[in-house]
Amino acid sequence: MAYSLIGKDFTPPDIRGKVTGKAKYAEDFSAAGMVYCKMLLSPMPHAQVSNIDVSDAMSMDGVVGVLTADDVPAMDGAAQAILTNTPRYVGAPILAVAAIDETTAADALEKIRYDIEPLDFVLDPLQSLYPGGTNAQAAGNVASMGIPLQEIKWTARDFASADPDQFPMTGKAVSEWSYGDLEKSFSEAAVVYDESFVTASNSHHSMEPRSAMSYWENGKCFLFGSSQSQSFMIPGLAAYIGIEPRDLVYIAEYCGGGFGSKGAAYPIMALPAHMSKKIGRPVMMRISRAEEYYLGSNRAGFQGRVKLGVASSGKVTAVDLYIVQSSGPHNGYPDFNSAAGAVSICYQPNAMQYRGIPILTNTPPGGAQRGPGQNQIAMVMEPLLDKAARELGIDRLEIRRINAPNNDTIFGGRQRAVTSAYQTEALNKGALAFNWERTKKRSGERNGSKVIGVGVGQAYHSAGAAGFDGLVRIAPDGRLHIHSGIGNLGTYSYAATSRVVAEVLQCKWENCVIERGDTRKHLPWNFGQFGSNTSFTMSRSNHAAAMDARQKLLEIAAAEFGGSVDEYDIGEETVFSKADATKRLSYAQAAQRAIDMGGKYAGHEIPDDLNPMTSASAKAIAGSGLIGVAKDNYALDATPPALAAGFMVIELDTETGRFEILDYNGVIDCGTVIHPLGLASQVKGGAVMGIGLATTERIVYDPQNGLAANVGFNQAKPPSYLDVPSTLGTDAVNIADPQNPMGIRGMGEPVMGCAASALICAISDALGGHYFNRTPIVPDMIINAIAERKQSHKPLQVYTF
């Protein structure tokens, strides 16, 4: 379908502020009388704090208040509190001091006297599962979203049944599903691999630390924060503050990176609100880089084992997957379950069994990071597929085509269908751009100490949701105001999806205003900006609101000129009679008519299926123009998938363990392309993050003391410009999805996993098929493998360099 805006590049309205430095992030705000707070962070991985004496601190000049765990809401189960007297990781906030400047606050923290008793701590999930093993929380060692805090120990027999370097497969799981006849399907396999694996946990280290500023005014709490999402933040944040959602004014126009860690309300953001309430002054909490490490959450690490059966045809017959997740000390994020779903959809096994268990660890809290679970498991599974291809004599691209999901795919424990899937097309498109047939022949090519490795990788994430609201307004000046509560993660998808409204209403983009980033802009209830969902979800809600506005325009014209709505159409920002073009109202005139007519046209009457947040916003702008407002009730009976394929060629130096990426091509199957430049940025940025996930980024802990080895941004080692190719190829399948009115699906996460797994495969290829079953693959692992030395770490060891 030919669109005038969808599929075209444009300049999102927030770019100018970003490149000129005028954009205001949370830390850039101030208010009269503002003070600064700093936190006392736990020096121990698990401890009990008591006898806090703040008298010396409070007597210091410039100190205005102290906030302790007693001043903030207690949390249920394994949930993380804003402040705690039972810190469960090094860096957990114990209390905060407010002072007229940060140096005074930091000095005051050193004057606070308290007793701190070290408690047993655990870093390695398998040690926690061992009979008598330590629990990261006194009340248990297992918890996750939807899984209550509990204690689970495996039996000594479970551990004894496996070789010490093998993952035990008989222990109790808390999450499991299966389909098909596993035994029969394995028996149909020509090759069966049974591999234990480790994927490391890594820190988010968002570029913008999660600073926040807050004050109270006329009974409302004003909070300036850093978040990916906007409307979705409100209920959780209000709960952390202890107020009704309607009493929270939340401002978050820009976000300097979140990658999943700022998708939903997080506890520390509420700290300045509590402090401000207590001391009666605005409070700025500037989060330092080190604090961002401790509070900014980690991608979960996996210890696991996978058994993969592949038939001589290359068809994956069976998968048996068990994942133990290192979750951090609180609920974390259920990466383990997402990983299992990804295996099912990407490889389409005839039978699959999945078991998983999230184990609490005394490391910084776990959180969703771009492709949480899907991207770790891609780095485990894709090399195994290569192994099968080599052994069966099948081309590595072909074995992926053979197993690729398509429109008939069903997957996961609930055997869900997909809205559409074109992974074969993604593979084909990427192979063409990469010149797979020619490039694969370079595999193993030697140039002195250097050797060529070629890899192809794939990844998946679900890509959309339904049921959220859209809200638009045509003002009497003819401008179209698009109210977007999705948030601004930095991908510009808030703007790209707003263009759906302009497209439907055939409105010039220059005449559109996006209302966003501030509760006071009267925003609808929208989903969070995470999980690769924005493009799908938000385009549906916006489409619904735009269609409502369109219908109202037609009705207003019919009321003005007579006849039925069928006799009217819209175009060039007017509504007109199809039979008599002189019967025409400009959008400005129609908006004034809507105000005059009142009722539903001006937003005084609204649908009763709207979320209360949307209803309140619609009522707030009622009477100011033509109001289009609707819930997304479009059908959705399957999972919209985002599928990606990445192709990479590297030159690995066998004498140093280092490699150079010579070429990369990433292709995404995301339905209709809504914003080509935004898409290209995602495919490239995802690849860069994937390169880090595969080869440099991990958190390291000293097992004796529970101390973090690589807190700093430089020690986290995200890839630099010099670690990635200067050009990265990007493309999309661009076939419309039937369950989105404009064919759009999301895409942000698998474009990371496909690059990460392509790189893992390329490294293994360069090493002649050496598989590490461990990520990231760091230079010392490569050097040891080439020198045929034993690796320093034990196969299932975690938190190592």
Partner 1 sequence: MAKDMMTRFELYQPADIAGALELAGKLGPDGWLIAGGQDSLDWFKDRAKRPGAVVDLSRIESMRGIRETDSGLEIGALATVTEIEENTLIKSRYAVLADAASRVASPQIRNVGTIGGNVCQDTRCWYYRSGIDCYRAGGSTCYADTPEGMNREHCLFGADRCVAVSPSDLAPALVVLDASMVIQNKAGERTVSAQDFFIGPDTDIERMTVIEAGEILTAIRIPNTWAGARFYFEKVADRNTWDFALVNVAAAIQVENDIIQDIRIACGGVECVPRRMSVAEDIARGSAKNEETARLAAGSAARGAVPLNYNHFKISLLENLVLRAIRDS
Chain contacts with partner 1 (rule: CB under 8 A): 38, 41, 43, 90-91, 102-103, 105-107, 109, 288-291, 449, 655-658, 696, 700-705, 707, 709-711, 714-715, 717, 719-723, 778-781, 783-784, 786-787, 789, 792-793, 800-801
Shortest separation between residue 289's beta carbon and partner 1, angstroms: 7
Q: What is the DSSP letter of 504?
A: H
Shortest separation between residue 363's beta carbon and partner 1, angstroms: 14
| Among the listed residues 777, 791, 671, 792, the one whose alpha carbon sits nearest the alpha carbon of residue 382 | 777
Q: CB-side exposure of 678: number of CA atoms within 13 Å?
A: 26
Measured from the CB atom, the residue of 435 and 792 that comes closer to partner 1 is 792
Measured from the CB atom, the residue of 415 and 705 that comes closer to partner 1 is 705
Distances (CA, A) of 727 to 19, 454, 723, 748: 22, 17, 12, 19
- Which residues is 177 bridged to in the sheet? 354
Shortest separation between residue 87's beta carbon and partner 1, angstroms: 11
Shortest separation between residue 376's beta carbon and partner 1, angstroms: 20
With H, G, I as helix, E, B as strand and everything else as coil, classify residue 108: helix
CA distance 498 to 504: 10
β-pairing, 512-515 vs 568-571, is unpaired
| Among the listed residues 262, 264, 282, 286, the one whose alpha carbon sits nearest the alpha carbon of residue 273 | 282
Measured from the CB atom, the residue of 407 and 656 that comes closer to partner 1 is 656
Sheet harboring 446-447: ordered strands across? 446-447, 450-462, 641-653, 659-669, 729-732
Shortest separation between residue 330's beta carbon and partner 1, angstroms: 20
Shortest separation between residue 765's beta carbon and partner 1, angstroms: 21
Residues in the chain, total: 801
Q: Which tokens sit at 318?
A: 């069976």
Shortest separation between residue 292's beta carbon and partner 1, angstroms: 10
Measured from the CB atom, the residue of 23 and 106 that comes closer to partner 1 is 106
Q: Which tokens sit at 569?
A: 């159409």
User: What residues contact 521, with CB distance under 8 A and at least 6 apart?
Assistant: 483, 515
Measured from the CB atom, the residue of 584 and 717 that comes closer to partner 1 is 717
CA distance 232 to 487: 9
Shortest separation between residue 60's beta carbon and partner 1, angstroms: 13
Q: CB-side exposure of 50: number of CA atoms within 13 Å?
A: 3
CA distance 455 to 758: 5
Measured from the CB atom, the residue of 329 and 718 that comes closer to partner 1 is 718
CA distance 659 to 673: 33
Measured from the CB atom, the residue of 224 and 701 that comes closer to partner 1 is 701
Residue 515 and residue 483 in contact, taking contact as beta carbons nearer than 8 Å: yes
Q: Which tokens sit at 611?
A: 């979320």
Shortest separation between residue 114's beta carbon and partner 1, angstroms: 14
Measured from the CB atom, the residue of 378 and 711 that comes closer to partner 1 is 711
Measured from the CB atom, the residue of 563 and 779 that comes closer to partner 1 is 779
Shortest separation between residue 365's beta carbon and partner 1, angstroms: 17
Measured from the CB atom, the residue of 105 and 394 that comes closer to partner 1 is 105
Measured from the CB atom, the residue of 506 and 715 that comes closer to partner 1 is 715
Measured from the CB atom, the residue of 125 and 349 that comes closer to partner 1 is 125
Shortest separation between residue 326's beta carbon and partner 1, angstroms: 16
CA distance 358 to 125: 8
Shortest separation between residue 787's beta carbon and partner 1, angstroms: 4
Element (H, E) at 323: strand 316-326
Distances (CA, A) of 654 to 450, 785, 786: 6, 10, 7
Surface-to-core class of residue 350, CB atoms within 10 Å of its CB (0-12 exposed, 13-18 middle, 19+ buried): buried
Shortest separation between residue 158's beta carbon and partner 1, angstroms: 24
Shortest separation between residue 688's beta carbon and partner 1, angstroms: 12
CA distance 690 to 672: 24
Q: How many helices (H) and strands (E) does the chain have?
A: 22, 35
Measured from the CB atom, the residue of 567 and 723 that comes closer to partner 1 is 723
Shortest separation between residue 300's beta carbon and partner 1, angstroms: 20
| Among the listed residues 378, 382, 427, the one whose alpha carbon sits nearest the alpha carbon of residue 765 | 382
Measured from the CB atom, the residue of 306 and 716 that comes closer to partner 1 is 716
Percent helix, strand and coil across the chain, each to the nearest 5: 30, 25, 45
Measured from the CB atom, the residue of 256 and 485 that comes closer to partner 1 is 256
Distances (CA, A) of 674 to 62, 415, 753: 53, 29, 22
